Amino acid sequence: MKKILIIFIFFIFTTSCSKLNFFGFGKKKSQFEKYKINEYLWIASNELLKNYTKTESDLKEGNISTVWITLKKNPNVRFKISLYILGSDLIEKNIEIFTEKEINKDGIWKQQRASDEFNTNLKKKIISDAKKLDPKNYGKI
């Protein structure tokens, strides 16, 4: 009987315990936990940028970026936004936004500095939306 028990225990530990979730071991991590990316910042960022064509995202790198965005009201101005989620906590320092801005003058696109206020407002919007998604913040906002 002891041999059978020893063989059974050995079998359990040598097979994939994480797939069996035996005795509570092997709780599978989500992709967000695996890459240490805050899920709610990621979702809120994607929701904000999804309306722009050809938005690319890479969860492993924590990066979401757009191609050039041309405004309908002013076709001589375009933006490119790159956003990075840097950690697993829902805090402001875990999101970094870089914006490139170009203005078309006489058919030539010239780089111009995007305002800090633009990036700050994007960040505030994403943080606010992420807090609304996070069940821990339910009723606090």
pLDDT-wise least confident of 61-65, 119-123, 133-137: 133-137
Q: Residue 129: inside a domain, yes or no?
A: yes
Are the C-beta atoms of 92 and 98 separated by less than 8 Å? no
**Residue 35 belongs to a domain:** yes
CATH number of domain containing 107? 3.30.530
Residue 134 has pLDDT above 60, yes or no: yes
Residue 54's pLDDT is what?
A: 87
pLDDT band at 64 (very low <50, low <70, confident <90, very high): very high
Local confidence band at 24 (pLDDT 50, 70, 90 cut-offs): low
Do residues 126 and 95 make contact, with C-beta atoms less than 8 angstroms apart? yes
- Does residue 22 belong to any structural domain of this protein? no
**Number of domains observed in the structure of the chain:** 1
Residue 16: inside a domain = no
pLDDT single digits (tens) 65-92: 999 999 889 999 999 999 999 999 999 9
Give the domain range for residue 61: 30-137
Q: Reduce the DSSP state of residue 133 to 3 states and report it.
A: helix
